[in-house]
Copies of this chain bind each other. A is one copy, B any other.
């Protein structure tokens, strides 16, 4: 059984005060030929992570535009998810020797799931990420159904063996969507490739307006002193996000700003032992430094708390060494908070034209913190420019527009993809 995720209802009109009437009307126009279109989004998990956040926002809006859109979750058990986690890491470049057992497990579960999907009932099936990618194998040539593979991960330097294996399935898709041009695997230059960057939902609990008083109360309750100046990094505890570099940069900056605090906010996952090791090391540092605090979902941090951190911080740091898209940058900028971030993945795109300061070293990062603190006019300008850039490029309405264009194109409703 492909579990249906009940996404509830959301009206596109709710976004009017944020993006303006014109954009909403353009979206309604674009969707007109897609009325009643049966679309299935299929992925591996209803909770946790960027893909499920995205679908939770996107699917109700597609429905509101008249599409008959659904979101379904594949069935899987531990052996399957172990294999797909390996695939995921390998597609991001990890070393791996593919075994025939792994292929068997992957295909068996994909086959079992595809038996549950009446593909012929849909006009378009959108498969998210590698876990369900082999479901296309059951596609019959006679069906009119179009298949789209939506890859959300950084496959710019995939493990060749795993990519070659998956590629055998991917080539059958009518359209393949990546997040950034840079993420397209080497040699995979096909006409059917499309680029759609991700986006944030300004009405979600993570991004919605919060009164400053409420944001302060929320952080106080966690043990922060929101009235004292702080910077924060919100990311998994993962060496690619360089949390220890962040601590060092904060310590350097503190020599000039003694009252500075640092809040490291991370989400802990059960299948991430490395994250736990990093977390333990960080808590040791935390114990030795009263101005450094570590927070996780286990100590009461969820979406609204993240919202409060991003909103009240003097600057949000995202000192990534390697990054996927790094949507957390847009989340912070949307709250008009300046961002200090590593030059990795999708970060430069998001801070282009101002809004953030790109840094290449711990020293740079420390200097940027001091700069943002001491130069209030600069901080305000960064925030304002950043928010305007997100408003134009990284809100869910822009993503929805891209998706509608892609659907029109894959169905042949419009040869001129730029036309509304």
The verdict on A203 contacting chain B, using a C-beta distance below 8 Å, is: yes
Stretch from A293-301, A337-345, A386-394 forming part of the interface with B:
A293-301
- A8–B297 alpha-carbon span in the complex (Å): 21
The verdict on A287 contacting chain B, using a C-beta distance below 8 Å, is: yes
In the complex, chain A residues 221-264 whose Cβ is within 8 Å of any chain B Cβ: 221, 223-225
Chain B residue numbers with a CB within 8 Å of A304 are 218, 302, 304-305
Q: Which residue of B lies closest to A209 (CB)?
A: B214
- A238–B144 alpha-carbon span in the complex (Å): 50
Chain B residue numbers with a CB within 8 Å of A301 are 302
The verdict on A3 contacting chain B, using a C-beta distance below 8 Å, is: yes
Q: Which of B208, B220, B302 contacts A8 (CB 8 A)?
A: B220
Q: Which of B48, B208, B218, B269 contacts A205 (CB 8 A)?
A: B218
Chain B residue numbers with a CB within 8 Å of A225 are 6, 8
Interface string of A357-395 (1 = CB under 8 A from B): 000000000000000000000000000000000000000
Q: Which of A10, A205, A301 has the most CB of B within 10 A?
A: A205
The verdict on A290 contacting chain B, using a C-beta distance below 8 Å, is: yes
The verdict on A411 contacting chain B, using a C-beta distance below 8 Å, is: no
Can you add 11 more A-B contacts, CB < 8 Å, to A301-B302, A304-B304? A3-B287, A5-B223, A10-B220, A47-B298, A47-B299, A47-B300, A204-B221, A205-B217, A300-B302, A300-B303, A304-B305
**7 A–B contacts, CB within 8 A, in A order:** A7-B223, A8-B220, A8-B225, A47-B298, A205-B218, A270-B298, A297-B297
